Amino acid sequence: MSVTAPAARSGGSPSIRRSSVPPIYTLAGTCVLVALLTMAPWIVPAEAATTLMNFFILVIMATMWNLLAGYAGMVSIGQQAFIGLGAYATLYFALKGVNPFLTIPISTLVCAVIAVPVTFLLFRLRGGYFAIATWVVSDTALLIIGAIPFLGGGTGKLMPGLQSLSPTQTAHDSYLATWIVALVVVTGTYLLLRSRLGLVLASIRDNEVAARSAGVNVQSARRMIFVIAAAGCGAAGAVLAISQPFVQPSSVFNIQWAAEMLFVSMIGGLGTIEGPIIGSIIYFVLQQRLQQYGVWYLIIFGSLAVVVALWQPRGLWGAFRDRYHSELLPVGYWIREPK
């Protein structure tokens, strides 16, 4: 048996890159966008700023849900537990006299701490049973909080500490707080997925048994992601409580948040950073357009999510990425063969 040498190649060995788009473009584009969004309250009308703010809140939640489901493989329909807990933690500290804006990091931490023992209960179940159990946890949190008169009970309470400023100032501050949290969450997730933990997650997602035998502590990784996602949702809840200053259990613990997170991530593209953002954009556009028709936008969006799940499970961004082989916020690696 003889071995023939391959035809002479120019170039050399294959290279491994993060992105197919030169990073300088992405970085430049991002900087411009960040600058624009930071100045938004001063350049766009107040209504648009409020819409943007709600958009950011959705992006935070969807990014966290995507982290749980798309990267760690845990489908949760109970993240609203931590949205609610984050909102009520903020309310609690505000009632005790702390500036609501300063409570945001505290609320985030509170949610992270609560999430840890919750994982010990929840991780006894898998798949659909895990999903419904997260809902039970959320329901329980709602009922417990709703029974505490100090926090307003079932009827709710107005967030204190915001009345001293003028309405425009409050609106500006709320916007900035929400924008900063969104930026931190998305950037943080991006960096997380590019880190070693991100690689660990990808290995668990692709083949859990192989990952385990390569020494990966699957349970720890999952636990960490669940806690991070809880913290992120807690932060979303905190800014939500500040932006809609009347805090009510039925609104912050509403399963509607779960539906929105899920649909947005599915349609945008599970397992990508850009997906939740794109999904949120579509969601908001649809909502604005169909506002006058009641809940039809939700029906359409939900049906779209079902269709996407069955026929294009990688979502819109996933399809784009597969077709054009480019990413804006790459978290994986591309191997480029020399020509």
Partner 1 sequence: MIWLNVVIQGVLIGGFYALFACGLSLMFGVLKVINLAHGDMAVVAGYVAVFLTPHLHIPEVWSFLVVVPIFGLLGYVVQRTLIQKSIDRDPFTTLLVTFGLSVVIENLLLEIYTANGQTVNVGTLITRSWHPTSNVYVSYVSLGVLGVAVAVLGILQLFLSRTGTGRLIRAVADDREAAQLSGANYRHIFGIAAAIAFATVALAGIAYGMTTQFAPTSGGVNLLFAFEAVVIGGIGSLWGTLIGGVALGVAQQFGAHFNPEYQILAGNVLFLVVLAIRPQGLFGRKTALS
Which positions touch partner 1 (CB under 8 A)? 69, 73, 75, 77, 121, 123-129, 131-133, 135-137, 139-140, 143-144, 146-147, 154, 255, 259, 262-263, 266, 294-296, 298-299, 302-303, 305-306, 309-310, 313
Tokens linked to 310:
């069955």
Q: Nearer to partner 1 by C-beta: 160 or 302?
A: 302
Q: Nearer to partner 1 by C-beta: 184 or 255?
A: 255
Tokens linked to 217:
């502590």
As a residue count, the chain comes to 339
Of 232, 204, 303, the C-alpha closest to 82 is: 232
- Least Å distance, CB 147 to partner 1, is 6
- Least Å distance, CB 115 to partner 1, is 15
Map residue 271 onto helix, strand or coil: coil
What CA–CA distance (Å, rounded) separates 167 from 38? Answer: 19
What CA–CA distance (Å, rounded) separates 165 from 153? Answer: 27
- Least Å distance, CB 13 to partner 1, is 36
- Least Å distance, CB 301 to partner 1, is 9
Backbone angles phi, psi at 234, to 5 degrees: -65, -45
Q: Nearer to partner 1 by C-beta: 77 or 227?
A: 77
What CA–CA distance (Å, rounded) separates 301 from 282? Answer: 9
- Least Å distance, CB 170 to partner 1, is 32
Q: Nearer to partner 1 by C-beta: 296 or 324?
A: 296
Dihedral angle at the C-alpha atoms of 248, 140, 83, 99, nearest 10 degrees? Answer: 60
Q: Nearer to partner 1 by C-beta: 123 or 334?
A: 123
Q: Looking at this protein, which amino acid is placed at residue 167?
A: P
Q: Nearer to partner 1 by C-beta: 92 or 257?
A: 257
Of 254, 250, 205, 232, the C-alpha closest to 115 is: 232
Tally of CA atoms within 13 A in the half-sphere of 206 that contains its CB:
10
**DSSP of 47-105:** HHHHHHHHHHHHHHHHHHHHIIIIIT----S-THHHHHHHHHHHHHHHHTT--GGGHHH
**Cα dist. 107→236, 261, 307, 323, 328 in Å?**
10, 20, 37, 41, 31
Q: Looking at this protein, which amino acid is placed at residue 193?
A: L
Q: Nearer to partner 1 by C-beta: 69 or 238?
A: 69
Q: Nearer to partner 1 by C-beta: 56 or 263?
A: 263
Q: Looking at this protein, which amino acid is placed at residue 284?
A: F
Q: Nearer to partner 1 by C-beta: 73 or 188?
A: 73
- Least Å distance, CB 109 to partner 1, is 24
- Least Å distance, CB 128 to partner 1, is 3
- Least Å distance, CB 140 to partner 1, is 4
Rounded (10°) angle between helices 296-311 and 274-290: 150
E strand or H helix at 114: helix 103-122
- Least Å distance, CB 144 to partner 1, is 7
